[in-house]
Structure 1
Amino acid sequence: MRRRNIRVQVWLNKEERTKLQANAKKTGLSKETYLRTLINGYVPKELPPQDYYAVMRELHAIGGNLNQIAAKANATGHIDRTVFQYESKRLRKAVLDIQAAATSPQKLE
């Protein structure tokens, strides 16, 4: 069974339709999903620029490097565990903050 079984028809003029299509396209959402997001009290964010994905790949690579350093340090016993844990938590938080800032919808006021 369909999750959404109530159909709503809305009439728009050309300017409104153009604006709806443009706004939905900027976010990467369908027109229907874009409208449902607005109805639920959120403003969808525009798709992040292409360099966002490059930055995220780089941050994940740094995280991978930290893991390799940790493995080597655990094998040799030459690392300050507290410092490494602090830095890895900092990196993880930075990645999540960047993702949230670039992709999460904002609550309407």
Structure 2
Amino acid sequence: MVNITPIEVQGYHFTATHVALPKTNLLVVSNHVGYIMCGALDITLLRETLADRGIIAARAVGVKTMQELLDGEVESCTQAAEALGITPGMAMTEALARIGAAEANNEQK
């Protein structure tokens, strides 16, 4: 089952995607410039092999629901996310606010 829902975090609009798989869930909240995701996200791959793409992404581990993802903390993130001020230990809602602001800044240009 796939569930796609629009959500708002600190005034910014995102798409929440929940993919129910056998024995696990994939959880993603995204906009046009970046995303947060559950522990299935391979940050090492994004930081090393795909670093040249400048992907803005952050991950939380140990989350099983969309609400847990939103209530969680950044466990790790990409260099491009760090450039926005996203850091491990930051609340996921704050990370999303920074991603939302980055999208808003891109739209103003």
Q: Same fold (TM over 0.5)?
A: no
Larger RCO, structures 1/2 (Cα 8 Å, 6+ apart): 1
Q: Whose Rg is larger?
A: 1
TM-score (norm 2): 0.22
TM-score (norm 1): 0.22
